[in-house]
Homo-oligomer: A and B are copies of this chain.
Amino acid sequence: MLRFLARWLFFGCVALPLRAQPLDSAAIVGTYRLIAERIIQEATRDSFAYRRLAELCDRFGPRFSGTENLERAIDWILEQMRADGLENVRGEPVSVPRWVRGRESIEMLEPRYRQLPMLGLGGSIGTPPEGITAEVLVVGSFEELRRRASEAQGKIVLFNVPFTTYGETVRYRTQGAIEAARFGAVASLIRSVTPFSMQTPHTGSMSYDPGVPRIPHAAITVEDAELIARLQARGERVRLRLRMEARTLPDTLSRNVIAELVGREKPDEVVVLGGHIDSWDVGQGAMDDAGGCVAAWEAVRLLKNLGLRPRRTIRVVLWTNEENGLRGATAYAARHNPDQHVLAIESDAGVFRPLGFGFSGSEEAYKLVRAIGTLLDPIGAGRITRGGGGADIGPLMRRGVPGMGLVVDGTRYFWYHHTEADTVDKLDPGELNLCVAAMAVMAYVVADLPEPLPR
C-alpha cells in the first residue's frame, strides 16, 4: 500500500500538468523524461522477461500455423496475461492455412552419394512417393536461367544465389519455383537465404503462379549449393533424388492474442504494439518472433505494474499466421477500425540490442516521435529513422495508421532466420530488457500525448 502511494505521488505529480494541451517536441521531452527514466529502470531490474520468453519457447517448441503447439502456446499466454492483470484479454479467431511438411529428403546420387540437409519451402507441393530424380542445372540468377532456358527442361534447377540483402535474395525463395517451372524444370531448389551457414537449411514462404505448373521447391544449405556449383563447374554431372510429402490441408482456426491497458481518457483511441506469435515449424521461433511478442507484452505489464495508465488505450496484439498467410494481420485490420488507431508498433527483427525505431507517417508526427526517441538515448535506442513498420501492421498502415518497427542490431538475425537454430539461447536478457523499455516508453508517451499523433 505504501509502495502504491509512493507510485501515485511520483507519477501523479508528473502527469498532472498534461491535461489536454498540445505539446511541442521540447515540451514532450520535459514532460516525460522522469517517466521514461522510471520505465527504463523498471524494465532493466531483473531477468523476468527473458525467463518468460525462455519458458514460452521451451514449453511448446515451434508454433506453426495449424498446429496444436501454437494453440497451446496461445492458451498459456492468455492465462498468463490474465494472471498479470492485463485488461480485455482475449483470443480473436482467425482462419489460417495448414501446410504440412511431412517427411522430406534430398540425396545426391552422382557423382557420389550424399544426404543433403534441406527444408521444403512453405506452401510447396510434394513429390510422388518415389521422389523426383533428375540432373541439376545450377544458375546464379533469374537472368542466367533465361539465358540457359534450353538446358532447364526436365532438370532440377538450383538457384545458387549468394546473400546480398534479404529483400533481393529472398526473391529466389518466393519466385524460384515459378521461374524454374516456366522453363520446364521438374523441381527447384534454392541456396538458403542467409549470409552464414553451418550446414543450416532455412525455410520460408514461396509462391506459385496460376499460369505456370506447380513444382516442388526446397532449400538446401549454402555449403551444398556451393558444392554442387563446384562439381558442375568441373564438368561433373550431378543427379539428385528429391522426396517431399508436403501437402496443404483445409484451413483451420487460430487466434490473434489481445490484451489491453485501457486508456483513462480516450479508451477508444488505441496504440497497438506487438509481434507475431506463430513461427515456422523448426527451432523455437525465439527471435522470429516470440521475442517481439514478449517485448510488447512485457512493455504493457510493466506500465501496469508502475501504475501508468495513459490517456489512450495501449493494446498488445500477438498476431497469428504472419509466416505463411498473414491471416492474423488481415483479420485484425478488418475487425478493428483503423481510424481508431493512433499508432501501430511492431517488433519482428529479433530482440537484439535496440537502436531505435523506423517510422512511417507524416512529417509532423515524425518530429514528435523523434522527440520521444530522445528519451531513449540513455539506452542507445533513440534513433528514429524514416520508413519502417512490419508485416503484421501493414494492413493498418495501408489504411493510414502511422507505423513503426523496432530497429535492433541485426548483425546475426539472418543467420538464424527460419532455422532450427532460432532458439532462445541466442538472445540476451539485458538486450531483451532494453527492447521492452524502448517499446514501453514509445507506446506510453504516444498514448498519453494530449493530442493524437497527427496523420
Contacts and interface: CB of A to CB of B under 8 A. Distances in A.
Interface stretch (A80-88, A140-148, A167-175, A194-202): A194-202
B114 A61 contact: yes
A75 interface: no
A197 B420 CA distance: 11
A55 B230 CA distance: 9
Contacts of A396: none
A199 B421 contact: yes
Determine how many copies of this chain the complex contains: 2
Interface stretch (A204-212, A219-227, A304-312, A381-389): A219-227
B421 A197 contact: yes
Contact of A55 (B55, B59, B223, B234): B234
A439 B455 CA distance: 67
A419 interface: yes
A279 interface: no
Interface string A58-70: 1111000000000
A342 to B, nearest CB: 38
Interface in A44-60: 54-55, 58-60
A223 B424 CA distance: 8
A24 interface: no
B421 A198 contact: yes
A364 interface: no
A231 interface: yes
A423 interface: yes
Given A198-B200, A198-B416, A58 B423 contact: no
Interface in A257-293: 283
A415 B196 CA distance: 12
Nearest to A231: B58
A32 to B, nearest CB: 37
Contacts of A197: 198, 421
Nearest to A200: B198
Interface in A16-74: 54-55, 58-61
A117 interface: yes
A254 to B, nearest CB: 19
Given A54-B230, A58-B230, A423 B112 contact: no
B226 A425 contact: yes
Given A198-B198, A200-B199, A416-B198, A223 B61 contact: no
Given A58-B234, A223-B425, 13 more contacts: A54-B230, A55-B234, A59-B111, A59-B112, A198-B200, A198-B415, A199-B419, A199-B420, A199-B421, A199-B423, A223-B421, A226-B425, A227-B423
12 contacts: A54-B230, A59-B112, A117-B420, A197-B198, A197-B421, A198-B415, A198-B416, A199-B419, A199-B420, A199-B423, A222-B425, A226-B425
